[in-house]
């Protein structure tokens, strides 16, 4: 696929000695996928800007520096290539870019990345990634960087990962992370990091937990840098539905999505729709009612009822309009059952 476009700019800088400038920028993009080799070539453009073209970024910079800016872009191009190497079960990619300016030296950047999934002994699905990059700026500064990542599954639902980033200026960052998602409703992870610079080093610790509850999605996170910084955050994401019959928090429901309000007459802890909702202390629960104008069912999970609670007619069918809130009073009884034998 190929595309081209032309951009015209008109700018009047705040500086009184700078006249109004009008300029043009021309761009062409090209991309192609080679199905026979499984590779993709993207010539993501060649852009040429004339001397009087001013981008928004350049305009803001000129405004700050009284009309003078040392990086008026002249032309730029970037090329990327990606390839899956089936014989090695490996993916590789290479990207190159260059920017030249009207009033200073240009900058160059390239990045080479490889990634592979492998089985190591009894451990299956180990992911390995390596990235090398080099960046030469317009001011003759060069930065070389290497990034390495290893991710190891721990059982069916846990994962340990390690990453390292190092450059030629002496800085290095390392992170060790543990993630646990064995519960379908709760995921959490914790990580420890170490950073080293010319001026010293620092440690950091962070973690977070996200849980899907009948009353919405709740989470907490923390970050700690000993002697420097610490934070604790709490979040909740869900919906609150209130009618004349009562109110309840629930999983997030879009504004125009129909929902069903279940009323158990003050009986709390009654699960609805496979646990997606649970009645609160007032006996009210709210769950999604599916698609608008289509038949749907709402049901009480009779196999998970609290002790001493019984429900009559645990399933109801409904067709609700867009944004409607249905109401279902469930015949619920609470008490102890006694079995006896009477002889006459």
Q: How confident is the model at residue 43 (pLDDT cuts 50, 70, 90)?
A: low
Q: What is the pLDDT of residue 339?
A: 76
Lowest mean pLDDT among 179-183, 207-211, 219-223: 179-183
Question: H or E stretch including 125?
Answer: strand 123-136
What is residue 261's predicted lDDT score, i.e. its pLDDT?
A: 95
For 325-337, the pLDDT digits (tens) are 999 999 988 887 7
Residue 343 CA to chain centroid, in angstroms? 69
What's the token pair of residue 253?
Answer: 């429901």
Q: Backbone phi, then psi, for 43, in 5-degree steps?
A: -95, 80
Instruction: Tell me whether residue 191 is exposed, middle or buried, using C-beta atoms within 10 angstroms of its C-beta: 0 to 12, 13 to 18, 19 or more.
Output: middle
More confident residue, 299 or 156: 299
pLDDT at 174 > cutoff 90: yes
Q: What is the DSSP letter of 157?
A: S
Mean per-residue pLDDT for 258-264? 93
CATH fold group of domain 256-334: Immunoglobulin-like (2.60.40)
Q: What's the rounded mean pLDDT across residues 265-288?
A: 92
Confidence at 162, pLDDT banded by 50, 70, 90 = very high
Residue 157 has pLDDT above 60, yes or no: yes
DSSP assignment letter at 300: B
Task: For tokens 């290539």, name the residue.
Answer: 81
Cβ–Cβ contacts within 10 Å for residue 248, how many? 25
Q: For residues 225-247, give the mean pLDDT.
A: 93
Nearest to 205 by CA among 186, 194, 192, 216: 192
Q: Give the tens place of pLDDT for each residue, 86-137.
A: 778 889 999 999 888 887 788 899 999 999 988 888 888 899 999 999 998 8
Mean pLDDT of 211-216: 91
> Cβ contacts of residue 248 below 8 Å, gap of 6+?
215, 240, 241, 261, 277, 279, 280, 282, 284, 285, 286
Residue 140 tokens read as 């003759």
Q: Is the pLDDT of residue 212 over 80?
A: yes
Average pLDDT score over residue span 172-199: 92
pLDDT (average), residues 133-160 = 88
d(CA 196, CA 174): 9
Residue 111's pLDDT is what? 95
What is the rounded average pLDDT of the residues 211-220?
A: 92
Write the CA distances from 153 to 125, 150, 312, integer angstroms.
Answer: 7, 10, 46
In the prediction, which pLDDT does 38 show?
A: 65
pLDDT of residue 74: 85
What are the backbone dihedrals phi and psi of residue 87, each rounded to the nearest 5 degrees, phi first? -65, -30
The SS3 of residue 152 is strand
Q: Cβ distance 146 to 163 under 8 Å?
A: no
């Amino acid at each position: 696929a190929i595309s081209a476009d032309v951009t015209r700019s008109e700018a009047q800088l705040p500086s009184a000695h700078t006249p109004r400038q009008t300029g043009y920028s021309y761009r062409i993009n090209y991309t192609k996928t080679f199905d026979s080799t499984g590779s993709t070539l993207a010539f993501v453009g060649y852009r040429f800007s004339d001397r009087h073209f001013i981008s928004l970024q350049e305009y803001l910079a000129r405004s700050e520096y009284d009309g003078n800016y040392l990086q008026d872009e002249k032309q730029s191009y970037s090329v990327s290539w990606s390839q899956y190497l089936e014989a090695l079960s490996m993916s590789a990619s290479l990207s190159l870019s260059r920017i030249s300016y009207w009033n200073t030296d240009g900058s160059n950047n390239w990045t080479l990345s490889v990634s592979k999934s492998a089985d190591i002994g009894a451990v299956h699905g180990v992911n390995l990634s390596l990235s090398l990059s080099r960046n030469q700026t317009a001011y003759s500064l060069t930065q070389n960087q290497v990034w390495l990542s290893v991710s190891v599954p721990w059982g069916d639902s846990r994962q340990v990962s390690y990453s390292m980033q190092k450059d030629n200026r002496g800085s290095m960052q390392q992170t060790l992370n543990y993630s646990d998602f064995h519960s379908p409703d709760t995921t959490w992870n914790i990580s420890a990091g170490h950073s080293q610079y010319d001026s010293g080093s620092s440690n950091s610790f962070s973690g977070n937990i996200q849980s899907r509850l009948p009353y919405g999605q709740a989470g907490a996170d923390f970050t700690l840098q000993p002697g420097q910084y610490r934070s604790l955050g709490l979040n909740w994401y869900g919906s609150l539905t209130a009618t004349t019959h009562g109110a309840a928090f629930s999983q997030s429901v879009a504004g125009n999505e129909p929902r069903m309000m279940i009323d158990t007459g003050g009986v709390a802890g009654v699960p609805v729709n496979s646990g997606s909702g649970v009645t609160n202390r007032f006996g009210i629960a709210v769950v999604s009612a599916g698609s608008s104008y289509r038949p749907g069912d709402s049901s009480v999970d009779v196999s998970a009822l609290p002790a001493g609670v019984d429900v009559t007619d645990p399933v109801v069918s409904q067709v609700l309009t867009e944004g409607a809130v249905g109401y279902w009073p469930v015949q619920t009884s609470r008490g102890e059952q006694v079995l006896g034998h009477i002889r006459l």
